[in-house]
Each structure stands twice: as C-alpha cells, then as structure tokens.
C-alpha cells in the first residue's frame, strides 16, 4: 500500500539538515561583494529575500487597515507587531508511534486603534487539548484543519485596572455550523519576592459547543548567575462539561550556552480530581534550542520520559523536534 503520509519521514530529515547547515551559514559571509558564496548561502539568501517580501506585504497590508480604521498618522515610535508563525513538530515514541503537528498562527496588529485591537487566526484552539498535553513538549497529532481553526478580534487596553493587565478575545471556529467563543484574561506581574519575579494570570472562557471554563496560572522565575534561570509554574483548570479540575506543576532550569543556543531541564507532575484528588502522571525532560537563522528560524529538540499512573507508572520515552518559522517586521 502506498504511504499516504510521506512527510512523516521527510520532515525530520529536513529539520536535521537545517540544524547542521545553519552553523555553517552563520560563519559564511553573505556579502554581495564576496566573489564566491556557497550553495547553502545562496539558497538562504533566496529564502530570506522571499521571506522578507512576504513579511513586508503582510505588514504593509496591516498598516493600511490600521490607517483605514483610525485615519491617524503613525507616531515616530510606531511599530506594527503583525506576524505569521509556522510550526512543525514531530515526536518519536518508544512504542514505535510517530506523531506530527502542523500549526499556523497569525496576528494582524492595529496599534493605532483606541484599545489596541488585533485580528488573530490559529489553526487550532489550545484549550481543545488537555492541560497535560499543553505543558509537555510532545506532538499531539495536530493537523491544519479548517473546522478546528479559530479567528476573531483581540482587544488589549493600554491602561491597567488596579495593576491588572487585561485582554479580551471574541471569535468563531471556522466550521458549519459556526462555533462562537469569548475569552477574558487578567494578568498581574507582582512585586519581587526577594530574587523571585512572580506573576498571576486568570482566564475565563466560553465556547458555544463546550460551555464555560477557567484557567488559573501562577509563575515564578529568577536568575541564577549570568547563564542560568530557574522557573516554576502551576496551572489549575476547570471545564464545566468535564466537571473536574486538572492541575500541573512544572519546575525548569534553563542554561544559556551562547547567544544562539540554550538548554532546558524540566520536571513536572499532573493531578486530577476526576475520580479523586490524585497524581495521574509525572515526567522529566530536557530540550536544546538553537537559533538557526537570524530571528526567524528556530529549532528545538529533546527527549522526555513520561510516567502515567494508568500504566502502573511504567516509563514512556520519546524524542521531539520542533521547527518554528516567523514572518514579521
């Protein structure tokens, strides 16, 4: 039988080739006055020109729409933060399974509007996945499907409400019949606790096909010298249709290896009140991140070991690679 998903095999080779090629490109001079430029250099020059052209068109269109709604000239410090992000992620699991994610996210910035509006698009709604899936690095088999895509308007007022930063989203899922949704977010950076920098985020959301839910997140981070950073966060989530809480705790240590690369070590635990309040899984992992090319191509790779209670705490090993490509100003 013919393989219907050849990209499952092709993608890791492309990503690994890029990872190996980019350090060479970083050292290779791409100056037009240089008489000889390598093949990889010419290829990346061409790719960068195409990327810059597409990014420029996206930003110009966003600025035109912004001016149409406000009829105001842009201030000297004006910066349009519109972007498109393409993400490809693949996980190899110990049992032989391969999971691949393909995601697209976009924001259409309208900074001159009174409440700093943004139009947004995403090929998937993140709350569709469980809390456990969202905090782990593994792929979940996401594909670009119109019926799972969401689009709408985000409003972020400049002024704060009693030190709380606010944002609101309203939109639709692009399916028939249409699914409407709304999300309201409050975020408050707190005063330092010694060397720690804490922050609290609260979200309340509603989907016409799922009902309402809430997500509470508390995060603390601190520097450890010039190259290390420690971060702890916990998330508590409740969805009315499920009628139970999910909770995760993650502690991570990051290490800057250079201006282009970093390592992260993490350990986490997952809790649920579905049957009784209990830990349902824990995991350990590490990831290596590398800025492949300037500020628009990023590569991440790393192993993870997952221990689910439902499988008698037996270890499930996996390895994941991720490639992010940005189109922005």
pLDDT digits (tens, 9 = 90+) for 39-91: 666 666 666 677 677 677 767 776 676 666 666 666 666 666 778 888 899 99
Q: Can you read off the two tokens belonging to residue 88?
A: 């490809």
Does residue 280 sit within a domain? yes
Does residue 329 sit within a domain? no
Does residue 1 sit within a domain? no
Tell me the CA distances in angstroms from 180 to 31, 172, 230, 296, one per residue in order. 51, 4, 39, 33
Instruction: Please give the backbone phi and psi of residue 220, each rounded to the nearest 5 degrees, phi first.
Output: -135, 140
Angstrom distance (rounded) from CA 309 to CA 57: 50
Does residue 326 sit within a domain? no
Q: Calculate helix-pair angle for 7-27, 39-70, nearest 10 degrees.
A: 100
Instruction: Please give the backbone phi and psi of residue 305, each rounded to the nearest 5 degrees, phi first.
Output: -120, 125
Quote the percentage of the chain above a pLDDT of 70.
74
Range from 35-44, 177-186, 212-221, 245-254 carrying the lowest mean pLDDT: 35-44
Kindly state the DSSP code that residue 192 receives in the 8-state scheme. Answer: P
**How high is the pLDDT of residue 293?**
78
Range from 35-49, 120-134, 192-206 carrying the lowest mean pLDDT: 35-49
Q: What mean pLDDT is predicted for residues 6-27?
A: 44
Q: What is the CATH number of the domain that holds 239?
A: 2.40.160
Predicted confidence band at 38 (pLDDT cuts at 50, 70, 90)? low
Does residue 277 sit within a domain? yes
**pLDDT tens-digit readout, 205-246:** 999 988 999 999 999 999 999 999 999 999 999 999 989 999
Angstrom distance (rounded) from CA 55 to CA 64: 14
Exposure on the CB side of residue 329, measured as CA atoms within 13 A: 13
Does residue 230 sit within a domain? yes
Look-up of token digits 């939109």: 171
């Amino acid at each position: 039988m013919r393989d219907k998903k050849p990209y499952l095999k092709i993608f890791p080779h492309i990503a690994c080739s890029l990872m190996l090629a980019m350090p060479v490109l970083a050292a290779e001079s791409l100056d037009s006055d240089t008489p000889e430029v390598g093949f990889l250099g010419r290829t990346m020059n061409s790719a960068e020109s195409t990327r810059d052209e597409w990014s420029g068109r996206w930003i110009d269109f966003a600025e035109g729409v912004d001016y149409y709604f406000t009829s105001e000239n842009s201030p000297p410090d004006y910066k349009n933060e519109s972007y498109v992000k393409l993400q490809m992620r693949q996980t190899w699991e110990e049992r032989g399974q391969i999971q691949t994610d393909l995601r697209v996210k976009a924001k259409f910035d309208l900074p001159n509007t009174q409440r700093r509006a943004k139009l947004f698009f995403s090929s998937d709604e993140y709350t569709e996945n469980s809390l456990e899936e969202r905090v782990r690095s593994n792929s979940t088999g996401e594909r670009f499907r119109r019926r799972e895509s969401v689009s709408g308007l985000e409003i972020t007022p400049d002024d704060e409400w009693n030190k709380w930063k606010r944002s609101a989203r309203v939109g639709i899922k692009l399916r028939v019949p249409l699914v409407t949704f709304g999300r309201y977010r409050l975020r408050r950076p707190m005063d330092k606790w010694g060397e720690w920098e804490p922050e609290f985020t609260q979200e309340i959301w509603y989907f016409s096909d799922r009902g309402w839910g809430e997500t509470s997140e508390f995060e603390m981070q601190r520097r450890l010298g010039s190259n290390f950073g420690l971060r702890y966060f916990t998330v508590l989530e409740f969805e009315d249709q499920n009628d139970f809480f999910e909770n995760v705790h993650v502690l991570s240590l990051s290490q800057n290896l250079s201006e282009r690369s970093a390592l992260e070590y993490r350990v986490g635990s997952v809790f649920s009140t579905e049957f009784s309040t209990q830990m349902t899984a824990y995991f350990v992992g590490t990831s290596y991140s590398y800025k492949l090319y300037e500020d628009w191509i990023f590569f991440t790779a790393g192993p993870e070991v997952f221990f689910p209670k439902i499988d008698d705490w037996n270890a499930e090993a996996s390895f994941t690679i991720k490639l992010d490509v940005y189109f922005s100003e």
